[in-house]
Amino acid sequence: MRGPLMICTNFCWDGIRSSRSTDQAAYFFRERAMQVRKIGNPLLKLDRDVPATYEYFWSHGMISDEIFLAINKGCDFEDYTFGSPHNESKSCNDAIAEANSIVGQYVNNYDVILDVCYPSIVMQELRLRKYVTKISLGVDVCMSYERYFYFNLPEVQHALHANRTHLPYGWGMCSDVLNYTDKDGNINILPLLRRIVEHKIPLWIFSGDQDSVVPLLGSRTLVRELAHDMGLPVTVPYSTWFRKGQVGGWTTEYGNLLTFATVRGASHMVPFAQPDRALGLFRSFVLGQRLPNTTYPPIGD
């Protein structure tokens, strides 16, 4: 493995996306001698990743045929912009709004199979007992509220040497203090990925298959199209990979350099919902190995 290693998840990638151009992002990596090689559930190209969300809703029975057809008919995603009203027609925005309304607030879009947490109930329990656990499919779905409560405890901030200046507001995961702009979401990241691969740096892109925010449907297509444009042949056909005798997900590889993988049962934040499979993916990546495509014993034995 050559040089320093940088692992980039969706959060890290959003920070890189805030660079004003792919040239600036490439400069960031080159000058700091870093190698981006592993990207999780990334927003790569808006005109494919956005329609993939509604394709995901439809394919998982979360919206009707009629709504999906209305979106396909009314929306020209080539002109879609990150900021509302998205440079789309009223019929398109109405169809998208109806789709989002049907999916509703009782589904976690970052992991569609998990139960949801009820904020009023969990915050009351936290105030009374200072802990609460709501487990769905092995995942603590109230973690974000627990984290907010925990990091705002005075004793925790004191132990962490945080908020030494006694700010007049509480800790939060997101903040308007940082100058993010919706325009950053419009940047096409594929040219940067191409430059990385052209420098013979192996690149892995992976997706949790329960994420509807940046679904595998868009990422998989964009990776295939990138490989085709670069003339990279398929070096690993699309197939299962295994972790501890179970299917960890599906994977394919192009030109011995560009890998796409899904993680079965995982959310937008892959280690959150599938920590062991995330570890298996990470292990293969760090060791410079392909994901294991066999397991023992065979299921027929």
Q: Is residue 214 part of a domain?
A: yes
- Alpha carbon 29 to chain centroid, angstroms: 21
How far apart CA 139 and CA 272 sit, in angstroms, is 7
Residue with tokens 């139960």: 115
- For strands 203-208 and 258-263, give the pairing: parallel
CATH of the domain at 212: 3.40.50.11320
Q: Is residue 297 part of a domain?
A: no
How far apart CA 188 and CA 208 sit, in angstroms, is 21
Q: Read off the tokens for 65.
A: 């045929």
Q: Is residue 61 part of a domain?
A: yes
pLDDT of residue 284: 95
Q: Is residue 282 part of a domain?
A: yes
pLDDT of residue 132: 62
140 CB-contact burial (10 Å; exposed 0-12 / middle 13-18 / buried 19+): middle
Last residue of a domain, one of 69, 87, 103: 103
DSSP for the chain, written as a single string: --S--EEE-HHHHHHHHTSSSHHHHHHHHHHTT--EEEEES----HHHHHHHHHHHHHHTTSS-HHHHHHHHHH--GGG--SSTTTT--HHHHHHHHHHHHHH-TTS-TTSTTSPPP-HHHHHHHHHHHS----EETTEETTHHHHHHHHHTSHHHHHHTT--TT--SS---SS-TTS---GGGGG---HHHHHHHHHTT--EEEEEETT-SSS-HHHHHHHHHHHHHHHTPPEEEEEEEEEETTEEEEEEEEETTTEEEEEETT--SSHHHH-HHHHHHHHHHHHTT-PPP---SS-TT-
pLDDT of residue 3: 40
pLDDT tens-digit profile, the chain (301 residues): 344 344 454 444 444 444 444 555 555 445 443 454 778 999 999 999 999 999 999 999 999 999 999 999 999 999 889 888 888 899 999 999 999 999 999 999 999 998 888 777 776 776 666 656 677 677 888 888 888 888 998 999 999 999 888 888 888 887 777 777 778 889 999 999 999 999 999 999 999 999 999 999 999 999 999 999 999 999 999 999 999 999 999 999 999 999 999 999 999 999 989 999 999 999 999 899 999 999 887 776 6
Q: Is residue 196 part of a domain?
A: yes
Total structural domains within the chain? 2
pLDDT of residue 75: 94
pLDDT of residue 36: 45
pLDDT of residue 35: 57
Question: Where in the sequence is the domain holding 51, given as residue range(s)?
Answer: 46-103
- Non-local CB neighbours of 73 within 8 Å, separated by 6+ positions: 91
**Is 45 in contact with 189 (CB distance < 8 Å)?**
yes
pLDDT of residue 85: 82
Q: Is residue 146 part of a domain?
A: no
Q: Is residue 77 part of a domain?
A: yes
pLDDT of residue 32: 40
How far apart CA 210 and CA 20 sit, in angstroms, is 30
Burial code of 196-221, b = ≥16 C-beta within 10 A, e = fewer? bbeeeebbbbbbbbbbbbbbbbbbbb
CB-CB neighbours of 226 under 10 Å: 22
Q: Is residue 126 part of a domain?
A: no
pLDDT of residue 215: 97
pLDDT of residue 11: 41
pLDDT of residue 13: 44
Last residue of a domain, one of 103, 118, 147: 103
Last residue of a domain, one of 82, 103, 124: 103
How far apart CA 220 and CA 211 sit, in angstroms, is 13
